[in-house]
Amino acid sequence: MPSTPQAQATSLPVELGKPAALSLRWPVDAVEALFDLPFNDLLYKAQTIHRQHFNANELQLSSLLSIKTGACPEDCKYCPQSARYSTGLEVERLMRVDAIVEAAKKAKANGASRFCMGAAWRSPKDKDLIVVEEAVRQVSALGLETCATLGMLDQAQAQSLKQAGLDYYNHNLDSSEEYYAEVITTRTYQDRLDTLEHVRGAGMNVCSGGIVGMGETRRDRAGLIANLANLPTAPQSVPINNLVQVSGTPLDDVEPIDDFEFIRTIAVARITMPTSYVRLSAGREQMNDQMQALCFMAGANSVFYGEELLTTNNASVEHDQQLMSTLGMVAQKTA
């Protein structure tokens, strides 16, 4: 085991927002100090830790499907699905279970091991949850891991999804607590932490990460990573999204993040959460192969795989298969 603070105190519960600086696994200053390392030192450290816990040539592939699209009441400034912005998106009601299962079969045939169903809701209604749960049962029966991202969950909803066999729940912290307030006003950071607690409480795996390239500072990025790493248990999956700028959203035209700073963010996530899958998430379509290779070198070991994310394009399956072959990487099989 590496001698990281994470490894020394994996079970230490840390409540965010409480004056427990001494017991924090990763104080923000320590995380920012990682960001400040010379690039080669940072990548070496990240790759070394990565190899202690994972096969460095294996990639976990998750495919996404938007099962309910657009007309969302929330005001997330990055999101094309918010009803508050004119993005020209076609609104779609909750899909039928058989259509969801068809998409899952295709994802499996392409080599994905996890299927993630996303819905543009603030939180799911009980009648919708019944449909999602049936989809979870049928997708699970295909031999795929299941994930859903449906907005906020209360404890009973999380338990009900767990009972249906849901393996992972995705709910992102998105940014530091401070910058979050600049980006979303219709739900609080604490609401997000509460949902994560309900997911953990129900015994599901947590998928939680954030978005960079929203105009935040390095300190904000360090704050995001620290908050994820300091959760009672680090999330099993950590998606790091590079903002996909969508015309009509308030964050369209923001200054993009520098490539090296993005790679640093991946490396810092790897070092602070050594046993988590770090996913190189949205924004891959805009990255060249060399950039993606450096992200894998920095410890990313998972990607969203398939032609589409939720509403925007992703790198193509053909291109990803070519890239994996070029790099000598293989898809991780379902556990």
Residues that bind ligand SF4 (CB under 6 A): 72, 74, 76, 79, 81-82, 120, 151
The DSSP bridge pattern shows strands 237-242 and 277-280 to be parallel
Scan residues 205-224 and list those touching ligand DTB (CB under 6 A): 209
DSSP letter (8 states) at residue 231: S
Closest to 43 measured CA to CA, from 275, 262, 289:
262
Active site residue 295: no
Contact partner at residue 231 from ligand DTB, ligand SAM, ligand SF4, none, CB < 5 to 8 Å by partner kind? none
Contact partner at residue 174 from ligand SAM, ligand DTB, ligand SF4, none, CB < 5 to 8 Å by partner kind? ligand SAM
Q: How far apart are alpha carbons 267 and 50 in whole angstroms?
A: 9
Catalytic residue among 25, 207, 221, 284: 207
What are the φ and ψ backbone dihedral angles of 241, each rounded to 5 degrees? Answer: -95, 135
Sequence-ordered alpha helix ranges (H) in the chain? 5-8, 28-35, 39-53, 97-110, 126-141, 155-164, 177-183, 189-201, 218-229, 259-272, 289-297, 317-327
Q: How far apart are alpha carbons 261 and 241 in whole angstroms?
A: 13
From 24, 32, 108, 118, residue interacting with ligand DTB (rule: CB under 6 A): 118
Catalytic residue among 25, 192, 279, 284: 279
Is 311 a binding residue for ligand DTB by CB under 6 A? The answer is yes
318 in Cβ contact with 75 (< 8 Å)? no
303 in Cβ contact with 284 (< 8 Å)? yes
From 46, 119, 269, 309, residue interacting with ligand DTB (rule: CB under 6 A): 309
Q: Which is nearer to ligand SAM, 171 or 270 (CB)?
A: 171
Contact partner at residue 82 from ligand SF4, ligand DTB, ligand SAM, none, CB < 5 to 8 Å by partner kind? ligand SF4
133 in Cβ contact with 169 (< 8 Å)? no
What are the φ and ψ backbone dihedral angles of 104, each rounded to 5 degrees? Answer: -65, -40
Q: How far apart are alpha carbons 197 and 164 in whole angstroms?
A: 19
Q: Which is nearer to ligand SAM, 172 or 237 (CB)?
A: 172
Give the nearest distance from C-beta 40 to ligand SAM in angstroms.
28
Is 303 a binding residue for ligand DTB by CB under 6 A? The answer is no
Catalytic residue among 72, 187, 192, 264: 72
From 82, 113, 172, 176, residue interacting with ligand DTB (rule: CB under 6 A): 172
Give the nearest distance from C-beta 184 to ligand SF4 in angstroms.
7
Scan residues 57-116 and list those touching ligand DTB (CB under 6 A): 64, 80
| Contacting positions for ligand DTB (CB under 6 A) | 64, 80, 118, 149, 170, 172, 209, 239, 241, 244, 281-282, 309-312
